[in-house]
């Protein structure tokens, strides 16, 4: 039986001619029959790829052999089938969109919060002088989060900078930031330091690594992931379900995307409502003429877009 792996990783490291690198890297990934999604920017790489164990090992070995990516910390999951359908490598201005491009404010290669390995994070998280800060979006922390974590009302990570003022009263605390794999914390912790927070930490490797190395203790619910699994289990010690169905309020940990592609909302929905609503969040979406066929998973393959083609100027404002 063929064994498959899914790799989650990121690396902040300067890439000269990142657009050309993205084009070449797509060819390399396809040569290994990998599927997944990788973002390339001048500041580094952010990716999730999936394929046979052999292909994934070759991919990891190749990146580690490149001095720019020698320190990449791959999070490896064994999966029953590849976690994507296609392979995309895209050039963007940032590998995680913060809207802050001034290197004097945000430069993860030079200054971030202190990295904590999962066991050290677990040892610190319940102290009275500590605040655990979730830097992910609403739909992510509604599905699962650390017990007693502070969450922010943000739709996307680019909304995080505007929320810093809401945390001002916590400046005398040790701030422990966390996210899925660690990439958002690199910029979030750097911004907190810039804004006058003095004792800032980040969970190295994020929730995924914490689950693997610390058993996921006190992470409540599931962790949202950006592939066709949509969510993964983390807590092997004291698991609970904290999310509820968007439509009926019943306890459920099933995360889907709305079947209406013009909505595409991430939300939790029980199987009963999934059937009744045909995978949609509302009656309006259910009646939408472009509604996709709901197969019970709530995952939809994105419509292919041209690779590495710059957006028109009118779109860059977003």
Percentage of the chain exceeding pLDDT 90: 88
Query: In the chain, what are the domains?
Result: 4-95 (3.30.70.100), 114-224 (3.40.250.10), 244-300 (no CATH)
Count of C-beta atoms within a 10 Å radius of residue 206: 25
pLDDT per residue as tens digits for the range 72-100:
999 999 999 999 999 999 999 999 988 77
The answer, yes or no, to whether residue 313 has pLDDT greater than 80, is: no
| HSE value, Cβ hemisphere, 13 Å, CA-based, for 263 | 23
The answer, yes or no, to whether residue 310 has pLDDT greater than 60, is: no
Q: What is the pTM of this model?
A: 0.88
With beta carbons less than 8 A apart as the criterion, state whether 228 and 299 touch: yes
Q: How distant, in Å, are the alpha carbons of 91, 94, 261, 310 from that of 314?
A: 18, 19, 22, 11
pLDDT computed for residue 83 by the predictor: 94
CB-neighbour burial class of residue 318 (10 A; exposed 0-12, middle 13-18, buried 19+):
exposed
The answer, yes or no, to whether residue 307 has pLDDT greater than 50, is: no
Q: Output 51 or 315, whichever has higher pLDDT.
A: 51
CA dihedral 40, 45, 46, 48 (to 10 degrees): 90
pLDDT per residue as tens digits for the range 156-182:
999 999 999 999 999 999 999 999 999
Query: At a CB cut-off of 8 Å and minimum separation 6, what does 294 contact?
Result: 259, 274, 278, 279, 280
Catalytic option among 179, 223, 258, 280: 179
Q: How confident is the model at residue 302 (pLDDT cuts 50, 70, 90)?
A: low
Q: Is 179 a catalytic residue?
A: yes
With beta carbons less than 8 A apart as the criterion, state whether 159 and 187 touch: no
The answer, yes or no, to whether residue 37 has pLDDT greater than 50, is: yes
| HSE value, Cβ hemisphere, 13 Å, CA-based, for 73 | 12
Q: How confident is the model at residue 258 (pLDDT cuts 50, 70, 90)?
A: very high
Q: Output 41 or 100, whichever has higher pLDDT.
A: 41
The answer, yes or no, to whether residue 314 has pLDDT greater than 90, is: no
Q: How confident is the model at residue 315 (pLDDT cuts 50, 70, 90)?
A: very low
pLDDT computed for residue 48 by the predictor: 97
Mean pLDDT of 93-116: 85
pLDDT computed for residue 109 by the predictor: 85
The answer, yes or no, to whether residue 59 has pLDDT greater than 70, is: yes
The answer, yes or no, to whether residue 318 has pLDDT greater than 50, is: no
pLDDT computed for residue 185 by the predictor: 96
pLDDT per residue as tens digits for the range 211-251:
999 999 999 999 999 998 999 999 999 999 999 999 999 99
Q: Output 2 or 244, whichever has higher pLDDT.
A: 244
């Amino acid at each position: 039986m063929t064994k498959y792996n899914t790799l989650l990783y990121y690396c902040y490291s300067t890439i000269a001619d990142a657009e050309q690198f993205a084009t070449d890297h797509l060819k390399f990934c396809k040569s290994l029959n990998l599927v997944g999604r990788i973002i390339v920017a001048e500041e580094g790489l952010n990716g999730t790829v999936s394929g046979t164990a052999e292909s994934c090992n070759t991919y990891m070995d190749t990146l580690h052999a490149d001095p720019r990516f020698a320190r990449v910390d791959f999070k490896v999951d064994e999966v029953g089938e590849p976690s994507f359908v296609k392979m995309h490598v895209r050039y963007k201005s940032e590998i995680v969109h913060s809207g802050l491009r001034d290197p004097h404010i945000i430069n993860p290669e030079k200054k971030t919060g202190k990295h904590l390995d999962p066991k050290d994070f677990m040892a610190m998280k319940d102290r009275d002088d500590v605040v655990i800060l979730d830097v992910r979006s609403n739909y992510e922390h509604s599905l699962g989060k650390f017990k007693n974590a502070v969450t922010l009302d943000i739709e996307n990570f680019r909304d995080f900078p505007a929320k810093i003022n809401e945390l001002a009263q916590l400046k005398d605390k040790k701030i422990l930031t966390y996210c899925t794999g660690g990439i958002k914390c690199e910029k979030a912790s750097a911004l907190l330091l810039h804004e006058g927070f003095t004792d800032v930490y980040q969970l190295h490797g994020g929730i995924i690594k914490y689950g693997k190395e610390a058993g996921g203790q006190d992470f409540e619910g599931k962790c949202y992931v950006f592939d066709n699994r949509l969510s993964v289990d983390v807590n092997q010690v004291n698991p609970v379900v904290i999310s509820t169905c968007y439509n009926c309020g019943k306890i459920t940990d099933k995360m889907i995307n709305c079947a209406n592609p013009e909505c595409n909302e991430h939300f939790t929905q029980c199987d009963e409502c999934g059937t009744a609503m045909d995978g949609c969040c509302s009656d309006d979406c259910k009646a939408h003429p472009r509604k996709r066929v709901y197969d019970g998973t709530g995952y939809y393959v994105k419509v292919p877009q041209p690779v590495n083609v710059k957006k028109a100027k009118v779109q860059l404002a977003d």
